[in-house]
Amino acid sequence: MTDSPDSKNTSAFKHKDQYYRDYLQLDTILNAQHMVSSEPGNIEAHDEMLFIITHQAYELWFKQVLFEVGAVIGIFSQENVAEKDVALAHHYLNRINRIMPVLISQFDIIETMTPGAFTDFRSYLNPASGFQSLQFRQLEIGLGLRAAERREFGGQTFHSRLDQRDRDAAHKATEHASLLEVMIKWLERMPFLEHKDFTFSEALKNVVHEMYEADRERLRNSDSPADGIQQQLDQIDKTEAGFDALFDAEKFEALRREGNLRLSMRASHAVLFIFLYKDYPLLQIPYRLLTQLIELDENMAIWRFRHAQMVSRMIGSKIGTGGSSGHSYLIMTADKHRVFTEISNISSYLIPGQFIPALPDGLAKKLEFNFES
């Protein structure tokens, strides 16, 4: 006797009954807080429990963030990314950006511990340190932070603070494509930069030159002091030169070879196109996706800054338990360890709406919802 269609469908929902404690493995989680200060011969420090639980909570959230980043990388690793998958990736990135403020707010909790209370058990922690958080290093690598862009502490890389197992895991993370890398490839495949006789880069370059020439003409006819006019003319020349580098393949590739840029020229044009024409329906989700990447960079920087402030509050100028300069190193990474700065910096090339080149009718229709056409 064969199963009926209905029985086959319902069999997928058959499972072992779950009990809340067992499903969440609470026996493991709630017994994972071992206070070193409570060991025989030590003096128990009350706030060590808070310190342990806060850091364990960080690691659990890091695991969730890594899970979401991995899913987004998987989506954009596809040769053809469907529009619905772009929306799904935006959803996952938005979730990460809702988690990050939770991570940042945990500093408010740990800072209820006074510097004196931390001193009561700090000596028991050596040489354990947040620098040894493998998951945070995997997150940095997964987002796209390269070894050459890292700021060393104590003259050494973070690998020197890891044991062999974690060093191997960190190295393995570098073997996979990062979020930035798959995003660059996706942007390069965007089909809207050319349409019949229309080329976005040429149209924008022409408009920009006309716009700046109009600014020069206005200044030349101005009654302002000559020195002031010349200063403004020099500024226009510099700004226009910045635009020229964006559209000059030779200059652009020279900057990439020097390590100043990671986005390709085409990927940069795609980001600018999305930012300028974001109100077209088909570009709304890509625009929101890119802004989520910018927000993620900002959230990571805020987390590092708050971490630095907390370290300064707790230990002042002392060397950290991991042997680093603590506060000064963390402050430096908040600024230098950003990944998506080229996407946020594209705002430098935005122009007033009245100067944005009009799209050909055929291309404009492609960017609308089908029912509008």
pLDDT score recorded for residue 90? 98
Per-residue pLDDT of the chain (373 residues; tens, 9 = 90+): 555 555 555 566 678 899 999 999 999 999 999 999 999 999 999 999 999 999 999 999 999 999 999 999 999 999 999 999 999 999 999 999 999 999 999 999 999 999 999 999 999 998 888 889 999 999 999 999 988 888 766 666 777 789 999 999 999 999 999 999 999 999 999 999 999 999 999 999 999 888 888 888 888 888 788 888 888 888 888 888 878 888 889 989 988 888 889 999 999 999 999 999 999 999 999 999 999 999 999 999 999 999 989 988 888 765 555 444 567 777 878 888 999 999 999 998 899 999 999 999 999 999 997 654 4
Residues 291, 307: Cα–Cα separation, whole Å: 24
Tokens 């909790």, residue located: 109
Contacts of 328 (CB under 8 A, 6+ apart): none
Q: Give helix then strand counts, H and E, for the chain.
A: 17, 2
Spatial neighbors of 86 by CB under 8 A, at least 6 apart, are: 75, 285, 286, 289
Q: Which amino acid is at 52?
A: I
Nearest to 303 by CA among 131, 102, 128: 102
User: For 186, which DSSP code?
Assistant: H
| pLDDT at 343 (0 to 100) | 96
User: Which residues, in sequence order, are CB contacts of 175 under 8 Å at separation 6+?
Assistant: none
pTM of structure: 0.88
Query: What distance in Å separates the CA atoms of residue 306 and residue 311, rounded to the nearest whole number?
Result: 9
By CB atoms closer than 10 A (0-12, 13-18, 19+), residue 7 is exposed
Kind and range of the H or E element at 336?
A: helix 327-336
d(CA 123, CA 36): 10
Strand partners, 302: none
Closest to 343 in 3D by CA, of 245, 268, 248: 268
H-helix or E-strand spanning residue 71: helix 48-76
* Extended beta strands in 260-353, E state: none
Report the pLDDT value the prediction gives residue 29, as an integer from 0 to 100: 97
Q: What is the largest CA-CA distance in the chain?
A: 98
Tell me, what's the pLDDT at 371? Answer: 55
Report all structural domains of the chain as residue ranges with CATH numbers, in order of start: 19-193+261-356 (1.20.58.480)
Per the structure block, which two tokens stand in for 82? 């469907």
H or E segment to which residue 195 belongs:
strand 194-195
- Residue 11 has what pLDDT? 60
pLDDT at position 15 is: 80
Q: Where are the beta strands (DSSP E) in 2-117?
A: none
Single out the residue of 197, 201, 138, 145 nearest to residue 171, CA to CA: 138
Can you give the pLDDT at residue 5?
56
Bridge partners for 199 per DSSP: 194
**How high is the pLDDT of residue 229?**
86
Tell me the C-alpha to C-alpha distance, in Å, between residue 359 and each of 89, 217, 272: 28, 27, 14
Q: Which of 346, 259, 299, 249 is nearest to 97 (CA)?
A: 299
Which residue shows structure tokens 């088909």?
282
